[in-house]
Chains A and B, each alone.
Chain A
C-alpha cells in the first residue's frame, strides 16, 4: 500500500514532467517537421495538408493535450521512416539495450565493490594507490574514445573480440562475446565513481563503534569487514548504483553507435539523423520511463537495506 502511494506520488508526476519536457524539446528543435518529412521540393499545399494532419497548425496547448492523450492510451504514432508503430520498434530493440546495461551494472558491481573494499581496508598501501590510479584513468576517458581504443587494440589488432553487432540470435556465447567490449566501455566511467564511493563509505564505516564492537566480540576480520562494515557502506553505494543505471541508458546511445550494436540507442541516433520525430519521441519516452523505474526501485531497495527507514 505504501509502495503504491509512493509510486503514484513520486514516479507518475516525474514521468509526466519528463514527457512534457520531451514534448517541448521536440517543438523547440529548429526546422519544420513537415518540411523534413516531405523533403525540400514539397509544394506549399502538401506542406499545409501534412501540418494539418499532424495537428501542427493547432495552438501549442492543444497539441500538448492531444500528445498527452495519445501518450496515455499508448498510441505513440508511427515511425516516419518504416511506417510501423514507433513504440513497437522501441520495445523490439529494448532487450539488446537492457542486456548491455545489465552487463555494465554487473561489471561495476563485480569490479568496483571488491576494489573499493580492498582499497579501504588496505588504505595508503600500494594496492590502494594502484586502484586509485586505474580508477582515475578510466574516469577521465570519454566513452566514445575508450570504445574506439578498445576496438582498435583488442578487436582490430589482436582480433580477440568482434568489431560490431550483437551476435547470433539464440547463441548466448556469441552474444556474450559481443557484449564484452561494449559493456566494459559503458561501465568504465562509472567504475571509478563507484570504486571511490565504496572506498570512502568503507573508510567511514570502518571507523564506527559497531565495527570495534564486532572485533571485540571475537569475530574474524572477513566477517567484520563484510557483514558489519560493507553492509552499512552499501547503503550509500546502492543509491549511487541505482542512479547509475539510469545514466547508463544515456551512455548506451554512444556505446551502441560506436560498436554498431542494434538497440534503442542506435535507433534514437538514426531517428534523430532522419528527423523521425515520432520514433525519437518513443525512444526517449521509454528511456525516461526506465530511468524513473530504476530510481523508484533503488528507493525501495534502500528501504529494504536500511532498517531505520523500513516501512
Chain B
C-alpha cells in the first residue's frame, strides 16, 4: 500500500463568479522513501494540492470539495482538526518557499524548532534543547549553539531554509512536502539545500513530495514526476522515461523551454510556451491546455482527455498521440 494515495482530489475556492476548482480530479500516489516531483507553472494547483494534504486550506476562502487523501490507510479528508494536528509536524511535515516569511520574526530559531516538540506533548526544557541542537547539526548548520539564539532576520536565507528543514524533521516524518523549497534562494545555495534534502531523505528514508516549477530540479532529484496544468495532472511517470520521452505537449513545451549549455545550439532562440496559465475563473471546458497547444484538435475543446497509459507506469492525458 502506498504511503500517500490521493484520489480524485478536488479543492475549490470562493470567487466572485462562485466556487471554482483550483485542483480538479487529481490522483497520484507516493510510495515510502520515494521522491515524487510535482511540476507546473505558478497557478497550476501544485501548492493547493500540498495544502489540501496538510488540511491547511483556509475554510474562509476554500474547501476540499471531493476525493480522498489516504495517508497510511487513514483518509485525511474530513478528519477532525485535533487528529490532523497530531499528524502535522510529526508524520507529515512541510517546508515552504520563502523561509524569511515562513519563520515568525518575533521568536528565535531555537524557540521555533523546539515548539514542534512542545506541540506534540514533549514539553520544553533542557532535553528539548538538546534535541533542537541535534537537528541543527543534522542539517549542517555551523555554530548551532549560536543559531539557536538568533532571530530569523539575523541569519542568511540558506541558514533559514536549513532551520525550516530541521523544524520539519523534528520527528522524522514519513512524508516531507517541500513546496518550492529553493525558489527564493541564490543558485549556489539552491544546490546545497536540495542536496541536503536528498541526503536526508536517503538517510532517514523519507518520502518526499518535491513541488517545483523547475523541471531541471525534478530531473535531478525525483524518482517519479507528475506534471500539473490547470488543476489537473496532465502527465505522470518515472522521471527517466517522462523526461526523455514526454507525451503531453505541455511537458514537451516545458522541456523545450529549459536553456541548454554546450550543446552547440546555444545560439538558438529559447523556446517558450505561448500564452499564460489560466486563472481559476477562466478555465475552458475540455482540455485546459488546448488554447495554448500546438497540436489542438476539435475534440480538445469538447472533451477532457483522461490519463491513459503510454508506457509502463507512464500516463498522459492528451488526445494527440503524435509524440510516440
Binding site for B on A (CB under 8 A): 123-124, 208-210, 212-221, 223, 228, 231-232, 305-308
CB distance from B281 to the nearest CB of A (A): 21
Contact pick for B105, options A218, A219, A223, A232, CB 8 Å: A232
* CB nearest to A228 among chain B residues: B104
- Asked if A208 and B106 sit within 8 Å, CB to CB, the answer is no
Contact pick for A217, options B82, B101, B115, B151, CB 8 Å: B115
- Asked if A214 and B104 sit within 8 Å, CB to CB, the answer is yes
- Asked if A212 and B119 sit within 8 Å, CB to CB, the answer is no
Q: Mark B92-116, 1 if CB is under 8 A from A, else 0.
A: 0110101001111110000000011
Q: Give A209 to B164 CA distance when docked, in angstroms.
A: 12
Q: Give A205 to B289 CA distance when docked, in angstroms.
A: 36
CB distance from A282 to the nearest CB of B (A): 42
B304 close to A (CB within 8 Å): no
- Asked if B87 and A218 sit within 8 Å, CB to CB, the answer is yes
CB distance from B167 to the nearest CB of A (A): 7
Contact pick for B153, options A210, A216, A223, A308, CB 8 Å: A308
CB distance from A209 to the nearest CB of B (A): 4
- Asked if B116 and A217 sit within 8 Å, CB to CB, the answer is yes
Binding site for A on B (CB under 8 A): 54, 56, 60, 81-82, 85-90, 93-94, 96, 98, 101-106, 115-116, 119-120, 151, 153, 164, 167
Q: List chain A residues, Cβ under 8 A from B87.
A: 218
Known: A209-B101, A216-B54, A219-B119. A306 touches B85 (CB 8 A): no
Q: Give A216 to B60 CA distance when docked, in angstroms.
A: 18
Q: List chain A residues, Cβ under 8 A from B54.
A: 215-216
Q: List chain A residues, Cβ under 8 A from B90.
A: 218
Known: A218-B85, A218-B120. A308 touches B104 (CB 8 A): no
* CB nearest to B81 among chain A residues: A221
Known: A223-B119, A307-B151. A217 touches B167 (CB 8 A): yes
Q: Give A232 to B96 CA distance when docked, in angstroms.
A: 20
Q: Give A306 to B102 CA distance when docked, in angstroms.
A: 17
- Asked if B88 and A218 sit within 8 Å, CB to CB, the answer is yes
Q: List chain B residues, Cβ under 8 A from A213.
A: 96, 102-104, 164, 167
- Asked if A209 and B153 sit within 8 Å, CB to CB, the answer is no
- Asked if B104 and A210 sit within 8 Å, CB to CB, the answer is yes
Q: Give A214 to B164 CA distance when docked, in angstroms.
A: 11
Q: List chain A residues, Cβ under 8 A from B153.
A: 307-308
- 11 new A-B contacts, CB < 8 A, other than A208-B101, A212-B102, A306-B105, are A212-B56, A212-B96, A213-B96, A213-B103, A213-B167, A215-B56, A215-B88, A217-B89, A218-B90, A232-B106, A306-B106
Q: List chain B residues, Cβ under 8 A from A221.
A: 81
- Asked if A220 and B119 sit within 8 Å, CB to CB, the answer is yes
Q: List chain A residues, Cβ under 8 A from B119.
A: 217-220, 223
Q: List chain A residues, Cβ under 8 A from B104.
A: 210, 213-214, 228, 231-232
Q: Give A305 to B106 CA distance when docked, in angstroms.
A: 8
CB distance from A136 to the nearest CB of B (A): 23
* CB nearest to B92 among chain A residues: A216
Contact pick for A210, options B94, B105, B151, CB 8 Å: B105
Among the interface residues A213, A305, A306, which one has the most CB atoms of the partner chain B within 10 A? Answer: A213
- Asked if A210 and B101 sit within 8 Å, CB to CB, the answer is yes
- Asked if B115 and A219 sit within 8 Å, CB to CB, the answer is yes
- Asked if A307 and B88 sit within 8 Å, CB to CB, the answer is no
Q: Give A208 to B58 CA distance when docked, in angstroms.
A: 12
CB distance from A126 to the nearest CB of B (A): 15
- Asked if A220 and B85 sit within 8 Å, CB to CB, the answer is yes
- Asked if B56 and A216 sit within 8 Å, CB to CB, the answer is yes
Q: List chain B residues, Cβ under 8 A from A124.
A: 60
Known: A217-B88, A220-B85, A307-B151. A209 touches B96 (CB 8 A): yes
CB distance from B169 to the nearest CB of A (A): 12
The 8 closest A-B pairs by CB, nearest first: A218-B89, A218-B88, A217-B89, A209-B101, A210-B104, A209-B102, A307-B151, A216-B94
Q: Give A221 to B85 CA distance when docked, in angstroms.
A: 9
Q: Give A306 to B106 CA distance when docked, in angstroms.
A: 6
Contact pick for B103, options A210, A215, A220, CB 8 Å: A210
- Asked if A216 and B89 sit within 8 Å, CB to CB, the answer is yes
Q: Give A61 to B151 CA distance when docked, in angstroms.
A: 53
- Asked if A307 and B106 sit within 8 Å, CB to CB, the answer is yes
Q: Give A221 to B106 CA distance when docked, in angstroms.
A: 18
Q: List chain B residues, Cβ under 8 A from A219.
A: 85, 89, 115, 119
Q: Give A83 to B284 CA distance when docked, in angstroms.
A: 88
- Asked if A308 and B105 sit within 8 Å, CB to CB, the answer is yes
- Asked if B101 and A216 sit within 8 Å, CB to CB, the answer is no
Q: List chain A residues, Cβ under 8 A from B120.
A: 218
- Asked if A218 and B86 sit within 8 Å, CB to CB, the answer is yes
Q: Give A307 to B167 CA distance when docked, in angstroms.
A: 21
* CB nearest to B93 among chain A residues: A216
* 27 residue pairs from A and B, CB less than 8 Å apart: A208-B101, A209-B96, A210-B101, A210-B102, A210-B103, A212-B96, A213-B96, A213-B102, A213-B164, A215-B54, A215-B56, A216-B88, A216-B89, A217-B88, A217-B89, A217-B116, A218-B85, A218-B116, A218-B120, A219-B85, A219-B89, A220-B82, A220-B119, A223-B119, A232-B105, A306-B106, A308-B153
Q: List chain B residues, Cβ under 8 A from A212.
A: 56, 96, 102
Q: List chain A residues, Cβ under 8 A from B85.
A: 218-220
Q: Give A185 to B87 CA distance when docked, in angstroms.
A: 49
CB distance from A128 to the nearest CB of B (A): 11
- Asked if B56 and A209 sit within 8 Å, CB to CB, the answer is no
Among the interface residues A214, A221, A305, which one has the most CB atoms of the partner chain B within 10 A? Answer: A214
Q: List chain A residues, Cβ under 8 A from B101.
A: 208-210
